[in-house]
Structure 1
């Protein structure tokens, strides 16, 4: 019987090898890293991730020929569903839209600030075989992190997508909204709650400026330490450029991530709301191919029961808002606050196995005993 995780891993390995074989010696230096779990320094770099337009580590499109660009996209396609791939490709193209929104005038001291070629790919270890290997692709509003071990995909998180602008006009009065469903479904769900349930789901009536966990490499214990959103030495824009929602220190504990989820559990939702919740989960978990996605886990009523919905900000369209879905092996965060509520962040994480950390630890315990 076919194993989808092995099939996807095989496609990833084939695509990664094809890309690596196309590179010259200098390109390979930026494009490759040591095997996952080799040492602490290696892991610190592999698990350092960003969603800002900074150096994500790896080889950029700028440093490659068009034929190599195609091989990069082929590797991305191997680790994404068709819808996931189309969404990622759209987010890359939004850099051109954002450039126009900003009047082609933003200058952070590099040749082009809003740049659809400033996306980085790095392969860790040797693709194929049973030894751990992985790959990371990232740039502005995209971070894909995959680990393969024993010939199967064992981790696809953190998986971050954003959109700026979140909505932009198309001909005929339509709008381009690559992350429209995660916003609309969540709002429909929270607005469907009974008043007393909604009071517990809505943690605050003001939204935070960003996702609570930021780009932290790990989510463990009762506190999350937000990592630096820009690689050291990279440009940090003037924070005055970004409006704030007025959230002060006194309100921060209400939104802090804790081991025990906040908000309302799926167990308290009616049948229609539970179906909405599962559909909403699919807009995140189905970014990756069928068979790799954990969405079927939520066919189990007990799994849906344990997913908590928490909201902050207004529930009216066009006003700043934030939500999270949290449960066992699940943290999803969404925010749309900036640029006149037209700038979305949407991340899917597995607190127990981001970057495959738990699987790697078990592997080393079993194979590298003193």
Structure 2
């Protein structure tokens, strides 16, 4: 990430400090968390994508001028297209409210609420020690870590859309994550039968991404209730698997160290181009200087990425896919609300939240 990573980190620090300077003492008490470190990371690495308390200061707890500062910080960590997509997802809370006939009531003043997005800074923004920030709410989780003045981690990075497709005037359709769905379907449908049989792991799609909101990626079964912070709004059937799968179905989709599915090495040139473009819909969320997308210009890196699918390959029907390879896990599902509710997450299994760089930094610091 080099010099570009430092430039992005500088923009983040400047935006974060402007926001922090605007806060009063009570706001700061909620907005600032402990600096990143092994003994203080339980909260920083606890993340959500459901409409629950993500931890931090909400828009409702701020003035409009501070709202703008929040969005300036969010923009500093995203590409232009990534920022536009995030802003659209926030606005979809109003669309979802109408889809549900403004009737869902969880006992708070407004259930589908575009004001319930949270920002928290961890540590001293722009200081000499590691620091980070998290922005999240329903269908958004952005996590960044800065060490030694450069951005070292941008994952987990989650975006969702409910509804995934909404009508616009003139017969157009709003699909914030549509390309990530269309490219994947085009790719899996292009496979010849033998490869398709290996790629499609299960005829049924899981209800949610397999790794859920786990802090570290493993084969543990996450329960529905774990997708929410403990409180009054946890879902019914909280003890059920979040994916809705058990037994042989769960094992068929389990995340395993040798990735399941079909590797890029067995795709033809046109299919590898589709795979590279699909990766771009995830890794292009962040600025070029901190995105690992260029890594996949190397044919060996692209050939190590595996595609796996579950559910129908027909448009409009429930489905799931993932891309998995060294330092890469991408998961997508569109199952709920009649296959009109999408989840799309990008993770680095080895370095989510920057744990590897942070550990090296602390080891070097304490060695001096």
Where on the TM-score scale, by shorter chain, does this alignment land: which range?
Answer: over 0.9
Aligned partner of 1:330 among 328, 331, 340: 328
User: 1:112, CA displacement in angstroms?
Assistant: 0.3
Aligned residues: 363
Query: In the alignment, what sits opposite 1:175?
Result: 173
Provide the C-alpha distance between the structure 2 equivalents of 1:287 and 1:80, rounded to a whole number of angstroms.
6
Provide the C-alpha distance between the structure 2 equivalents of 1:310 and 1:69, rounded to a whole number of angstroms.
40
Query: In the alignment, what sits opposite 2:267?
Result: 269
Query: In the alignment, what sits opposite 2:248?
Result: 250
Provide the C-alpha distance between the structure 1 equivalents of 2:64 and 2:249, rounded to a whole number of angstroms.
49
Aligned partner of 2:318 among 317, 320, 323: 320
Query: In the alignment, what sits opposite 2:307?
Result: 309
SS in 2 for 1:326: strand
SS in 2 for 1:127: coil
Name the stretch that deviates more: 249-258 or 148-157. 249-258
SS in 2 for 1:55: coil
Residue 222 of structure 2 corresponds to residue 226 of structure 1: yes
Output one character per residue of 1:107-163: Cα deviation in whole Å (capped at 9) or x when no partner: 001000000000000000111133100000000000000000100000000000000
Residues 208 and 312 in structure 1, CA contact (< 8 A), matched pair in contact too? yes
User: 1:234, CA displacement in angstroms?
Assistant: 4.1
Query: In the alignment, what sits opposite 1:125?
Result: 123
Provide the C-alpha distance between the structure 2 equivalents of 1:197 and 1:154, rounded to a whole number of angstroms.
36
SS in 2 for 1:368: helix
Query: In the alignment, what sits opposite 2:156?
Result: 158
SS in 1 for 2:314: coil
1:89-100 equivalences under 5 Å are: 89-100=87-98
Residues 210 and 243 in structure 2, CA contact (< 8 A), matched pair in contact too? no
User: 1:291, CA displacement in angstroms?
Assistant: 1.1
Residues 206 and 245 in structure 1, CA contact (< 8 A), matched pair in contact too? no
SS in 2 for 1:144: strand
User: 1:247, CA displacement in angstroms?
Assistant: 4.5
Query: In the alignment, what sits opposite 2:25?
Result: 25
Residue 345 of structure 2 corresponds to residue 347 of structure 1: yes
Provide the C-alpha distance between the structure 2 equivalents of 1:363 and 1:262, rounded to a whole number of angstroms.
34
Provide the C-alpha distance between the structure 2 equivalents of 1:95 and 1:238, rounded to a whole number of angstroms.
21
Output one character per residue of 1:323-368: Cα deviation in whole Å (capped at 9) or x when no partner: 0000000000000000010000000000010000011111111112
TM-score if structure 2 supplies the norm length? 0.96
SS in 2 for 1:14: helix
Query: In the alignment, what sits opposite 1:7?
Result: 7
Query: In the alignment, what sits opposite 1:209?
Result: 207
Provide the C-alpha distance between the structure 2 equivalents of 1:234 and 1:57, rounded to a whole number of angstroms.
15
Provide the C-alpha distance between the structure 1 equivalents of 2:4 and 2:271, rounded to a whole number of angstroms.
30
SS in 1 for 2:188: helix
Residues 81 and 288 in structure 1, CA contact (< 8 A), matched pair in contact too? yes
Provide the C-alpha distance between the structure 1 equivalents of 2:303 and 2:190, rounded to a whole number of angstroms.
17
SS in 1 for 2:227: coil
Gaps of 5+ in 2: none
Alpha carbon RMSD of aligned pairs, Å?
A: 1.7
Residues 215 and 229 in structure 1, CA contact (< 8 A), matched pair in contact too? yes
1:17-96 equivalences under 5 Å are: 17-37=17-37, 39-40=38-39, 42-96=40-94
Task: Flag the 1:234–1:83 CA change in 2: closer, same or farther, 3 A.
Answer: farther
SS in 1 for 2:271: helix
User: 1:231, CA displacement in angstroms?
Assistant: 0.4
1:276-291 equivalences under 5 Å are: 276-291=274-289
Output one character per residue of 1:151-187: Cα deviation in whole Å (capped at 9) or x when no partner: 0000000000000000000001101000000000000
Residues 206 and 247 in structure 1, CA contact (< 8 A), matched pair in contact too? no
